[in-house]
Amino acid sequence: MNHKLETYRFSDDGHIPNNILPVILYRQVTKAKDKSEWFENTFKTNGWTNNWRDVIYRCDHFHSTTHEVLGVGKGTVIMHIGGQMGISIEVSAGDVLILPAGTGHSAISEHINYEIVSGYPQGRKWDVLLGTAEERKQAIPRIEKLPVPSEDPVFGKDGELLRLWQ
């Protein structure tokens, strides 16, 4: 499957810690008719479970207990990633964002006519943090201790995550 790879790096902005690992964006990884179903099955096959289907929170948040994959199953959404110093990016059905723990993200689109399929390596439980001083004290050591996943959520052992997150 031909797809475009994009990577982004974000520094700690004082609220959102982000991560030294890059955000990975795969563009148009599937042409399946039911992209949500394809993403969920593919993520599960590659060990990224605890899946859900929904929209993204509209407030900037991050996770300290796990990395996260977001597959766009339907529609298009403009997301902000990387906290205050981050970027806004449009993702559409067939695109996949892999966010290392600590990476700020939110939906900034007004509409909710899209669907995200999410997953977490080894089905880890996720938290939702907003970047308060108290949260950060506990979150940063958790983020630093998280292992790199053993498989890329889309391409398994052949994925770019294994190379980019070494």
Q: Which of 53, 48, 4 is nearest to 24 (CA)?
A: 4
Query: Would you give per-residue pLDDT tens digits along the chain (166 residues)?
Result: 567 999 999 999 999 999 999 999 999 999 999 999 999 999 999 999 999 999 999 999 999 999 999 999 999 999 999 999 999 999 999 999 999 999 999 999 888 899 999 999 999 999 999 999 999 999 999 999 999 999 999 999 999 999 999 8
- pLDDT value at residue 111: 85
- pLDDT value at residue 134: 94
